[in-house]
Structure 1
């Protein structure tokens, strides 16, 4: 299904954000990349700030609302729901954008507020899922925090895992967190 021109601008903006941060999202550069005129941009957006806002809307929709709605609709085992949410939310493409938004949030209070809202929604999902098979509120909070930190931070780790690949070690950590009862 072909994308609308507006969606192409947003997609190109998200890619530029992932590659170089918000300063890399330039109307002229995006127009050249898309093979269109800069004037075409203003048929869809009131300016660069409007594009940036719609990019954040798209990021939030794709990696939070769509994922959580789909996971909720599929139902099933809570531990499996956490696995599926992680697989869908932190794909390589989504993760690159997520990390760029996190870096951007350090310099822009409105982006930081949006990131906090998204992260709170993600944590609420984790708390709800862990709460389906754990009763201790401290354990629910600890496992939710550790699972979320593992999902975000795994790319920042530069450590050897004797006898395991990095991927295997991360998978092992995730599975340990998802065990029922005490970890």
Structure 2
């Protein structure tokens, strides 16, 4: 008789399950028992990797923030400021489910609000710098572009959002 060896869950497995639950169901799904059911294990495994739910939630938030800030660094590798702006928008659009979930969570959970605030400030700083590099110095344009990037990711299909933000960047370039 052969027995299948059970795969041990890792901290990352739990975080992936948490991201999926947050993105599809919302913060109410971030409970050890519900997550354990979702991935087919006991909540004891959860507590092996996390001291408590707040530590797990902080790890989720930190992971999202790190990913969002990494996208800013990746945009810096683009050959032009306009290409960097498009890359930033596409990154927000690609992570649309988590972006929306984090913003919704931020309305009721201060640590999520603090993280989204830091990400927003970093994005605004990079967008402002890229716009200045192409000759657009009106600070309101950076706010408009950041809001458009986030709003389009939340409100439209991924393809439509990419197309619309590309058109907006082209319009800004044409107006300078």
Structure 1 length normalisation: TM-score? 0.81
Match of 1:131 in 2: 132
Measured in 2, the distance between the counterparts of 1:32 and 1:101 equals: 23
Structure 2 length normalisation: TM-score? 0.83
Show structure 2 runs of 5+ residues with no match: 1-7
* Count of residue pairs brought into register by the alignment: 166
Calculate the aligned-residue CA RMSD, in Å.
2.3
Secondary structure of 1:90's counterpart equals: helix
Structure 2 residue aligned with 1:48, among 49, 53, 56? 53
C-alpha contact 1:133 1:180 (8 A) present in aligned 2 = no
Match of 1:152 in 2: 150
The answer to whether residue 116 in structure 2 is matched with residue 115 in structure 1 is yes
C-alpha contact 1:134 1:180 (8 A) present in aligned 2 = no
Q: Deviations over 1:105-160 (max 9, x none)?
A: 11122321221111001111101111111153xx2x222111111111125558xx
Deviation at 1:84, TM superposition (A): 1.2
C-alpha contact 2:36 2:42 (8 A) present in aligned 1 = yes
Match of 2:5 in 1: none
Q: Deviations over 1:48-86 (max 9, x none)?
A: 11111000011011122x2122222x2410110111122
Match of 1:39 in 2: 44
The answer to whether residue 28 in structure 2 is matched with residue 23 in structure 1 is yes
- Following TM superposition, where does structure 1 have runs of at least 4 consecutive aligned residues deviating by more than 6 angstroms? none
Match of 1:173 in 2: 168
Show structure 1 runs of 5+ residues with no match: 159-164
